[in-house]
Amino acid sequence: MSDNEPTSAPVPSEIIRLRGSIDNIDAALVYLLAERFRVTRRVGELKAVGGLPPADPAREQEQIARLTSIAEESGLDPEFAEQFRQFIVSEVIRHHELIAAQHKGDNLPEVDTYA
Amino acid sequence: MSDNEPTSAPVPSEIIRLRGSIDNIDAALVYLLAERFRVTRRVGELKAVGGLPPADPAREQEQIARLTSIAEESGLDPEFAEQFRQFIVSEVIRHHELIAAQHKGDNLPEVDTYA
């Protein structure tokens, strides 16, 4: 520990202001994630009850390329964007498996993680 | 494999429409993430160059409670929302460490993952 280690100094006003932006962005992210899963859940239901096409690897590759491009344009680390995509996909797979299990038991369709 | 395994059947139009929504939402998510890290990077710089207060555990607890509430309201699994928060925090910590290393070498301030 150094002698000038910060203790309970007040948070600078600019940081407080920026925290307000962070809080707003986090709320928007959660609402968007909720909406994304609402949509993929509907797709999962459609696939579970109907004639379901198999996963489309071409679509996955297109999505990776597209999100990488958007990340580069926006200033987000493309590697992080890809990690984020995989994080979302893992949750979509979990939802898909739950939906398919409700509809068909062990006769699961191939997962299309991009719905 | 079953006899009626789907092969190259056309994707139903409702799924194609829903995929368009998924693509739009994904783009919005990436832009928002880019903006979030832009803000936290600025906070990291302010902390690295100035008199930096320590991490505020109370703020972290407030954020967890707040995001859990938003998740419940929006229909997102609160456990997933918490996993998402931790995923973001791990990237913020990585950014923070990079910024602090650029400014102070090994004299790093305590990390405030919520900036």
Contact A109 B14 (CB under 8 A): no
For chain B, first and last CA: distance in Å? 52
Residue B5 lies in a domain: no
Quick: pLDDT tens for A53-102. Answer: 546 677 889 999 999 999 999 999 999 999 999 999 888 888 877 877 77
Determine the Cα–Cα distance for residues B81 and B70; give it in Å rounded to an integer.
Answer: 9
Contact B34 A59 (CB under 8 A): no
Concatenating the DSSP letter of every residue in chain B gives --TT---SPPPPHHHHHHHHHHHHHHHHHHHHHHHHHHHHHHHHHHHHHS-PPPP-HHHHHHHHHHHHHHHHHHT--HHHHHHHHHHHHHHHHHHHHHHHHHHHTT-PPPP-TT-
- CA B79 to chain CA mean position, Å: 14
Quote the pLDDT of residue B112.
52
Residue B21 lies in a domain: yes
Element (H, E) at A82: helix A78-104
- CA B63 to chain CA mean position, Å: 13
- Count contacts between A and B (CB, < 8 Å): 172
Contact B34 A76 (CB under 8 A): yes
Could you give the ipTM of this predicted complex?
Answer: 0.80
Residue B2 lies in a domain: no
Residue B70 lies in a domain: yes
Residue B1 lies in a domain: no
Structurally, chain B folds into a number of domains equal to 1
Residue A110 lies in a domain: no
Q: In a mutagenesis test of the A interface, which of B17, B60, B80 is the best target, namely the one with the most A β-carbons within 10 Å?
A: B80
Specify the CATH number for the domain of residue A73: 1.20.59.10
Quote the pLDDT of residue A2.
46
Quote the pLDDT of residue B3.
46
Domain that holds residue A81: 13-104
Quick: pLDDT tens for B82-99. Answer: 999 999 988 888 887 787
Scanning every residue of chain B, which has its alpha carbon at the shortest distance from the alpha carbon of A72? B34
Q: Collect all residues of chain B within an 8 Å Cβ-Cβ radius of residue A35.
A: 25, 74
> What tokens does A20 get?
């307000």
Shortest CB distance from A28 goes to which of B32, B63, B71?
A: B32
Q: Is A9 exposed, middle or buried (0-12, 13-18, 19+ CB in 10 A)?
A: exposed
pLDDT > 70: what percent of chain A?
A: 76
Contact B30 A63 (CB under 8 A): no
Quote the pLDDT of residue B2.
46
Determine the Cα–Cα distance for residues B3 and B9; give it in Å rounded to an integer.
Answer: 14
Residue A41 lies in a domain: yes
Q: In a mutagenesis test of the A interface, which of B22, B23, B90 is the best target, namely the one with the most A β-carbons within 10 Å?
A: B22
Quote the pLDDT of residue A53.
52
Q: Collect all residues of chain B within an 8 Å Cβ-Cβ radius of residue A58.
A: none
Span A22-40, average pLDDT? 96
Scanning every residue of chain A, which has its alpha carbon at the shortest distance from the alpha carbon of B81? A30
Range scoring the smallest mean pLDDT among A8-12, B56-60, B80-84: A8-12
Q: Is the dihedral of CA A27, A31, A36, A37 positive or negative?
A: positive
Asked if residue B110 has pLDDT above 80, the reply is no
B105 Ramachandran zone, left/alpha/beta (phi>0; psi -120 to 50): left
Residue B83 lies in a domain: yes
